[in-house]
Amino acid sequence: MHQPSSDSPIGVFDSGVGGLSVLLELRRELPHENFIYLADTGNAPYGERGDEFVKQRTLAIAQHLQNEHQIKALVVACNTATTAAVEELRKAFPELPVIGVEPALKPAASSSQTHRVGVIATRGTVKSARFEQLRQAFSEDTEFRVQACDGLVKAIERNVEEPASGGEAAEEIKALCARYLGAMGEFGLRTGDIDTLVLGCTHYVFIKDEIRQLLGPDVHIIDTGAPVARQTRRILDKRNALASEDAASGKEGTVRLYTTGGLPALQAAARRWMNLAPDYCSALPV
């Protein structure tokens, strides 16, 4: 097998287009790196699938990215895939640096003044043993109100192809956010209020404005994109695997996006959220 070099691409994958929120941060942090993004939309949403299915898909995608693109690192830009499969992934590919995403409970617990933190995520994430371990690790001084948001990822994926001004999926997103956030309790800065909300799914970053409208200006909203990008830089730097000086001489890195689902949805997401033209996107067999 061809060995990756410092100029080889970094692989990034998610069950759909939500991981583009992580890719955005990666490109900001590492502008000279090359990226291959794979959206497994043909099998989404992972959060409502079983762990075994998610493990199988995650390992298959990692193998594909290694075989076809000789990636030098893999960012699992999906909380559900991280919780279900990151350990198996590291065992199966011991030479490949794997960076996962997890709900940012530690920084949320550190910053909360009321010691009440809300977490919204997929059912697959919140029901996992890995998430429960994470929650317990930071529960000594903090109460976590955890809410599984069934249907929200599907609505966000559908909303991508609708006009930005709103359509049926946009209305469904607002209704689901109101229902799930309302079920968690009072948000605010008073004693007993939830003053910090963790976005435990990379898709939710793209509806931060809708969430902010419901919570008001005072609640701290935390996602994981920027910390994951910084961690990716640290890991590559430690391995002397950052893009070479030649590649970094002012030249921006390349990016290619692939999907196992409908190409128009990925093209619409790439245009709306990353300002990328449709020809950056390609379809893959499921």
Give phi and psi for 194, each to the nearest 5. -85, 115
What mean pLDDT is predicted for residues 236-247?
83
pLDDT at position 240: 94
CB atoms within 10 A of CB 278: 13
pLDDT at position 49: 84
The string of pLDDT tens digits covering residues 167-225 is 899 999 999 999 999 999 999 999 999 999 999 999 999 999 999 999 999 999 999 99
Q: Which tokens belong to 144?
A: 């976590």
What mean pLDDT is predicted for residues 11-40?
96
Reply yes or no on whether the pLDDT at 248 is more than 50.
no
pLDDT at position 50: 86
Note the helical H segments in the chain. 20-29, 51-69, 79-92, 105-111, 123-126, 129-137, 152-159, 168-182, 208-215, 225-238, 263-274
Confidence of residue 252 (pLDDT cuts 50, 70, 90): confident
The string of pLDDT tens digits covering residues 111-141 is 999 999 999 999 999 999 999 999 999 999 9
pLDDT at position 4: 83
Counting residues of the chain whose pLDDT is more than 90, the rounded percentage is 87
* Residues annotated as catalytic (active site), given as ranges: 78, 201
110-115 contacts, C-beta under 8 A, 24 or more apart: 111/196, 111/220, 111/222, 112/142, 112/195, 112/196, 112/220, 113/189, 113/195, 114/189, 114/190, 114/191, 114/192, 114/193, 114/194, 114/195, 115/141, 115/142, 115/143
Q: Which amino acid is at 96?
A: L
Whole-model pTM? 0.92
d(CA 74, CA 119): 25
Counting residues of the chain whose pLDDT is more than 70, the rounded percentage is 95
Helix/strand/coil percentages in the chain, nearest 5? 45, 15, 35
The string of pLDDT tens digits covering residues 154-179 is 999 999 877 655 689 999 999 999 99
